[in-house]
Amino acid sequence: MDQSLANAATQSLDELFHRQLDLSRKTATPSAAERLDRLNRLRTMVADNEQRFQEAISADFGHRAPVETTIAETLFVLGEIKHTAKKLKRWMTPQRVKTELQFWPGRNVLMPQPLGVVGIIAPWNYPLQLTLAPAIAAIAAGNRVMIKPSELTPRFANLLRELVAAAFDDGELAITGIEDGIGERFASLPFDHLLFTGSTRVGRIVAEAAGRNLTPITLELGGKSPAIIDRSADLSQAAERVAYGKLLNAGQTCIAPDYVMLPKESVGTFAALLQKSIARMYGSNASNKDYTSIISDRHYARLEALVADAASHGAKILQAASPADTAWKSARKFPPTVILGATAEMKVMQEEIFGPLLPVIGCASAEEPIDYINAHDRPLALYWFGNDDAARDAVLSRTVSGGVTVNDCLFHFTQMNQPMGGVGASGMGSYHGEWGFKTFSKLKPIFYRPGLSRLPDLYPPYGAKIARLEKLLRFLS
Ligand code: NAD
């Protein structure tokens, strides 16, 4: 990009930030009515432009199954707004907190306050959901919000920018440009909170930049999320649910099952059931409208290279078509791929797949998946299938992951009353529903000291009074 244009983009970014910062410091905390008005404008913007968002996202992907945009993006965002608007007044109400006896008749209150200016950096895979869902929480908490969408979804980013500019003052909510260098500049601004959704690699860079400003961060990252199929599982049901979880958005989902581990004697049956489920859901034709394209040629080539690397190390590749086939490649649709015999030396077991490839790994014991998971980065999601409660609880209690769905994939993410967030290399912090409201609020503890209280007994000169108070404290401690 032209250097003068890049300079102009970063300059207007800095100006925008300082305008929001000024407003956050110099104007009154937004009332519940103001926050609800902002949420309502957001709701209207999304609801009235559903079709335009769908078309823009589909054009950015090459093809995005329309139902996937409706369910995983539009309806998700509208649901989050509805839930938040309904609960907002209660979340905003200062909460009484217990006061210990020695401080009676003092009173403790926890007061939620907006942090100020919140920055949101979003990825491309669910561009509407991952820009707006954090914004809903940040707006509800009374913040001013700036969002940087991904440069890989330019049509969507331009549309969002245009619609937000029409519905909001840029001091309330603003969408930045996506020019080269904007992401780095954005991450270096001294936000009051920065939420980043994206890869673990870029997450490290963003965390470093935020650290220089002591900006608190929420990192919603990726990684390899396992699906464990216990020997007590209904294999056919598990295969269908894993296939759906994997192939939604063509595997370009942060919480998609990355690989499967199951008893080794079941690998053949499970792989056959998987292929059946895949054929039932998506057929074997690249033109299937329910199957989403890969976001870019670079990502398509990355997936081809992962398969070629696995094959060259001896893995068995099960595909209904070759990714090199013109019908598939020209539409950037990557044929669903089951990989048998994957080993640690293959790249497909080293990096997050983020596409429709599914390694299926046979295990000799129920311990093996637990040991494997604990020897690697903490996963963002974990899936367990089966009916043996003791086996399930062993996995749940001995592994740490961002979230879990038992006997299905993805659905823990859609629970409004549960926090969404990773752990370790898959992220830190969380949002969704009240968890998001709290993430973007300062929960300020306030102690109200009444006129009548024993606290003056603490002041010097220390004499008999303090001895009496000490006795009371010893009794209470
Ligand atoms: P990415 O890390 O490449 O990019 C994410 C965002 O960061 C983009 O907006 C990009 O422009 C920006 N960016 C890139 N370099 C930057 C820098 N140096 N400084 C500041 N910003 C920078 O990720 P992606 O390819 O867009 O998304 C895929 C990844 O996101 C996967 O790893 C996936 O698992 C993860 N993800 C996580 C969640 C979650 O909720 N945990 C959700 C969706 C995707």
Q: Would you say the CB of residue 385 lies under 6 angstroms from ligand 1? A: no
**Ligand 1 centroid vs 198 CA: distance in angstroms?**
2
Q: Would you say the CB of residue 134 lies under 6 angstroms from ligand 1? A: no
pLDDT tens by residue, 162-209:
999 999 999 999 999 999 999 999 999 999 999 999 999 999 999 999
List the domain boundaries for the chain. Answer: 3-221+428-442, 226-421
Q: Is the dihedral of CA 199, 205, 208, 214 positive or negative?
A: negative
Comparing CA positions, the residue from 106, 120, 87, 290 lying closest to residue 217 is 120
pLDDT of residue 2: 66
pLDDT of residue 173: 98
Beta bridge partners of 151: none
**Ligand 1 centroid vs 296 CA: distance in angstroms?**
15
Look at the domain 226-421 and name its fold. Answer: Aldehyde Dehydrogenase; Chain A, domain 2 (3.40.309)
CB 156, CB 128: distance < 8 Å: yes
Atom 6 of ligand 1, nearest CA residue: 123
Q: Would you say the CB of residue 210 lies under 6 angstroms from ligand 1? A: no
pLDDT of residue 476: 82
Q: Would you say the CB of residue 251 lies under 6 angstroms from ligand 1? A: no
Phi and psi torsions of 412, nearest 5°: -65, -25
Q: Would you say the CB of residue 380 lies under 6 angstroms from ligand 1? A: yes
Atom 35 of ligand 1, nearest CA residue: 198
Angle at 117 between CA 115 and CA 119, to 5 degrees: 115
Low-confidence ranges of the chain (pLDDT < 70): 1-2, 5, 454, 456
- CATH architecture of the domain with range 3-221+428-442: 3-Layer(aba) Sandwich (3.40)
Which residues make Cβ contacts (< 8 Å) with residue 252, sequence separation at least 6? 125, 292, 294, 295, 299, 354, 355
pLDDT of residue 7: 73
Atom 34 of ligand 1, nearest CA residue: 222
pLDDT tens by residue, 405-428:
999 999 999 999 999 999 999 999
pLDDT of residue 1: 57
Q: Would you say the CB of residue 207 lies under 6 angstroms from ligand 1? A: no
Atom 10 of ligand 1, nearest CA residue: 150
Q: Is the peptide bond before 379 cis (omega within 30 degrees of 0)?
A: no
pLDDT of residue 451: 79
> Would you please indicate which residues are annotated as catalytic (active-site) residues?
220, 254
Instruction: Give the span between the Cα atoms of 268 and 71, in whole angstroms.
Output: 33
